[in-house]
Amino acid sequence: MFDADLIAKFSDKTATIGIVGLGYVGLPLALRFSEIGYSVLGFDIHPGKVTRLNAGETLIEHIPSRAIADARSRGFEATTDFARVGEADALILCVPTPLTKHREPDLSFVLDTMASLLPHLRKGQVVSLESTTYPGTTDEELGPRIERQGFTLGQDTFLVYSPEREDPGNPDFTTHTIPKIVGGRTPACLEVGMALYGQVIDRLVPVSSTRAAELTKLLENIHRAVNIGLVNEMKIVADKLDIDIHEVIAAAATKPFGFTAYQPGPGLGGHCIPIDPFYLTWKAREYGVHTRFIELAGEVNSAMPDYVMMKTAAALNDRRKPLKGSKVLVLGIAYKKNVDDMRESPSVILMEKLRDSGADVSYSDPHVPVFPETRQHHFELSSVELTQDNIAEFDCILLATDHDRFDYDLIASKAALVIDSRGRLPMAANVVKA
């Protein structure tokens, strides 16, 4: 049987692992499989990325080049040649699942990837999707495509859904220490999936189906999105009442049960929290269900950049300066502190709104020295060094992402005006909370 042969290969580490998509999810996973002793073949459509990885260079700030070089010495290879798919015993898909401009699921990356894999699939392989998506994607989209190639799922080819749980830059959790959900298209698929991940992840959590695994991932992120929406709304209420919401959160967090502290901000960022809830709301509509909590949280969180803009314009107006023509320095353009990950960053949305309002916009981010080329956002800017003279040149400093490497004492003492959307600075005459 193919499942027994494949499980044996995973157990004795003679299997070749193919990772498709070498970004914030795929690259750490590739390194982990390599570290444990598997032969790893990485696939990516970007030639420049492949060239750098094969030269032992890192693509992600919190992953050192030494880790890439070590993996290369153990045989890790990156390629753009999907004709080599047949060399892999496992194919793990780690590609983006964004939203369309109408806030509906965009499966184009997943489906385009499958189209590249299908001509080269063979019997005795397992395909595992890790990209976050709505319940039914694995069964309804991937399964039939594989079966149309003449394969029987659960007998000669195996299909798994195992959602990623990466938290870039978090030193407390690594790829192998975060428990991993695994759902299979059939019982045999689940058994193969458990064997695939069993050697590299400390704890596996099997569930009854790929749909259950898909919904588990969505629930995790919707839980956060709804609670962040709640605390963002509370921030606005607290501001109207002239109360510091961060003081209130810190006080509430002393309760040893029944409360979890979430922090407000200028909006949601990252590839999961701003996007994943809408995958479920879209799927729920197919069944006539209106997901009111989820959609309301999405509305609140999506409106936060406008709230910060309003506070910025009002603060400048109080100082007899219009937003148009003012020099504004945005601090931090990554979506969260201490990383270089800019996916869905609210800081970039703020930069665009400031620019569209006529402000002269610059940014400072020690983790992003040059504003990168992206599909949606375009700025020809480099990070401004935070010196005493540079800070004094700006009419307004907007703290959007509170990296630990910023000198907050210098900022507070030298800036004419600071809009603090993260609650990082103490109250002062030149500090406005947003």
- Asked about 272 being catalytic, the answer comes back as yes
Which of 94, 189, 272, 396 is catalytic? The answer is: 272
**Per-residue pLDDT tens for 21-42?**
999 999 999 999 999 999 999 9
CATH number belonging to the domain at 256-433, selected among 3.40.50.150, 3.30.70.270, 3.10.129.10, 3.40.50.720: 3.40.50.720
Residues 6+ apart with CB under 8 A from 214: 133, 134, 135, 136, 137, 138, 161, 163, 183
Start-to-end CA distance of the chain, whole Å, equals 61
Residue 291 has pLDDT above 70, yes or no: yes
Band (13; pLDDT cuts 50, 70, 90): very high
Report the pLDDT value the prediction gives residue 385, as an integer from 0 to 100: 95
Q: To which CATH superfamily is domain 2-208 assigned?
A: NAD(P)-binding Rossmann-like Domain (3.40.50.720)
pLDDT of residue 166: 83
pLDDT above 90 (res 103): no
State phi, psi for 17 to the nearest 5 degrees: -105, 125
Round to whole Å and give the CA distance between 372 and 251.
39
Whole-angstrom Cα Rg for the chain: 23
Residues of the chain with CATH 3.40.50.720: 2-208, 256-433
Whole-number average pLDDT of the chain: 95
- Regarding pTM above 0.95, the answer is no
CA 299 – CA 21 distance, rounded (Å): 31
Write phi, then psi, for 353 (nearest 5 degrees). -65, -40
Query: What per-residue confidence (pLDDT) applies to 1?
Result: 67
